[in-house]
Amino acid sequence: LKPAAHALFKKLKDEELELLVQVVESRGAWESGCILAPRGDARGVKQGLPPQVLLCRLFRWPDLHQSHELKHFCYCAGGQGVCRDLAVLCCNPHHFSRLAVPETPPPPYLKVSCEHENQGMEPTVTPSRRKSLRQGMRGSCSGSSLGPDTPLLTEAPLCSPLPDTSLSWSTVKDGCWCKLAYWEYRTRVGRLYAVHEASVNVFCELPWGSGFCLAQLPAAYRSCAVRRARGKIGRGLLLSREPGGVWAYNRSEHPIFVSSPTLSPPCACGLTVLKVLPGYSAKVFDYDWAGDRGGWQLPGEGPCDPHSIRISFAKGWGPCYSRQFITSCPCWLEVLLNQP
């Protein structure tokens, strides 16, 4: 890659080279600007790689081969050409993520039969019971009822289903496209966090950044397992609303595990949990597919909003894990979506 890299560096301006050094040394810890390079000019270069593939391969993923394996961030202004100038494009290596595609080997819990998945599960909540639970809990747990005197810590007893955190109509009218609920096991910590911008960072440690900082949420008690898991969140993830759906980009140094109604095939008998490696991104919710789905029933976990996403930090769950449900994970996030 040395001849190709030197040929590209000669085409960059001095300020773009300085920005590239800062981005590489910080490993993308802050939202940097675009680094613009001529598009598709490989003359005199031994390896005819596109500029974005070259720099991503050089500084992030040595096994990267094609540009279709990459995805621009939503805030990258040079993804499709700046000011309609298609002669240049952004090659900032930290303005890209790798796509978590289905062709990659699936986690072992996706290969388990339905009969094995249903063994040892708690009884399913009936529709009538689910309706009564929603009516009883909506006033204390929905986003529209959180007032200044609402306690920051909401705990769900182990013998009862989780609180219903689905969004009410008054919440939809607020203008936010989603609200975030942070959980530690079966305990929700802090208030719902409303998201109005197109993207939001969820993190514990993120220098020069803004968003939903989990480190600022107090809790009366945290076990050693929760503290260890929180230490692995780091830069967390980036959630972005894009045409057609919601994307999640893993910014941490540990995998995240995601489940949503649109990640499972239409006739699936079990829950699909997608493992997203560090530096990878995935479309975790599809608005078009969600319109064809009914309610999202999760055995043993109580009512669940069908327009929601569940993300566990560092710890997976499923039949091939010691954790059968996401409520057994130390730290996880619930993304409650407003219907478009």
Tell me which of 98, 133, 167 is where a domain ends.
Answer: 98
What per-residue confidence (pLDDT) applies to 236?
93
Dist. CA 165–CA 335, nearest whole Å? 10
Contact 183, 330 (CB under 8 A): no
Structural domain includes residue 58: yes
Give the CA count within 13 Å in the CB-facing half-sphere of 74: 18
One domain for residues 313 and 212? yes
Tell me which of 82, 98, 114 is where a domain ends.
Answer: 98
One domain for residues 49 and 188? no
Dist. CA 211–CA 207, nearest whole Å? 11
* Helix (H), strand (E) counts: the chain: 8, 16
One domain for residues 208 and 323? yes
CA triplet 198, 76, 215: central angle to 5 degrees?
A: 55
Q: Is residue 288 helix, strand or coil?
A: helix
What per-residue confidence (pLDDT) applies to 332?
96
Domain count, the chain: 2
One domain for residues 69 and 192? no
Concatenated DSSP letters for 52-92? HHHHHHHHT-TT---GGGEEE-TT-TTSS-BTTBTTEEE--
Structural domain includes residue 273: yes
Our measurement of the distance from residue 100's CA atom to the centroid of its chain's CA atoms, rounded to an integer in Å, reads: 12
Token couple for 135? 């009516």
Question: What is the phi-psi region of residue 244: left when phi exceeds 0, alpha when psi lies from -120 to 50, beta otherwise?
Answer: left
Stretches in the chain below the pLDDT threshold 70: 40-47, 78-86, 101-174, 266-270, 291-303, 320, 340
What per-residue confidence (pLDDT) applies to 255?
94
In tens, the pLDDT along 202-224 reads 999 877 778 999 998 988 889 99
What per-residue confidence (pLDDT) applies to 74?
82
User: Residues 308, 311, 316, 320: what is their CA dihedral angle, to the nearest 10 degrees?
Assistant: 10
Dist. CA 205–CA 251, nearest whole Å? 11
What per-residue confidence (pLDDT) applies to 218?
85
Tell me which of 98, 132, 165 is where a domain ends.
Answer: 98
Dist. CA 224–CA 163, nearest whole Å? 25
In tens, the pLDDT along 251-291 reads 999 999 998 888 877 666 667 889 999 999 999 998 887 76
What per-residue confidence (pLDDT) applies to 113?
34
In terms of DSSP H, where are the helices of the chain? 2-11, 14-26, 51-59, 114-117, 127-141, 169-172, 224-230, 287-290
Q: Which domain holds residue 92?
A: 1-98
Beta bridge partners of 241: 246
CATH of the domain at 240: 2.60.200.10
What per-residue confidence (pLDDT) applies to 120?
36
Contact 189, 213 (CB under 8 A): no
Structural domain includes residue 220: yes
Which of 6, 17, 88, 12 lies closest to 46 in space, CA to CA?
6
What per-residue confidence (pLDDT) applies to 41?
53
What per-residue confidence (pLDDT) applies to 179?
95
Which of 202, 225, 221 lies closest to 333 in space, CA to CA?
202
CATH of the domain at 79: 3.90.520.10
Dist. CA 315–CA 239, nearest whole Å? 19
Q: At what angle do helices 51-59 and 2-11 cross, to 10 degrees?
A: 120
Our measurement of the distance from residue 219's CA atom to the centroid of its chain's CA atoms, rounded to an integer in Å, reads: 23
**Using CA of residue 285, residue 253, residue 26, residue 57, what is the dihedral sign?**
negative
What per-residue confidence (pLDDT) applies to 174?
64
Concatenated DSSP letters for 21-46? HHHHHHTS-S-----EEESS--TT-S
Contact 257, 273 (CB under 8 A): yes
What per-residue confidence (pLDDT) applies to 30?
78
Which of 179, 144, 141, 145 lies closest to 161 in space, CA to CA?
141
One domain for residues 333 and 195? yes
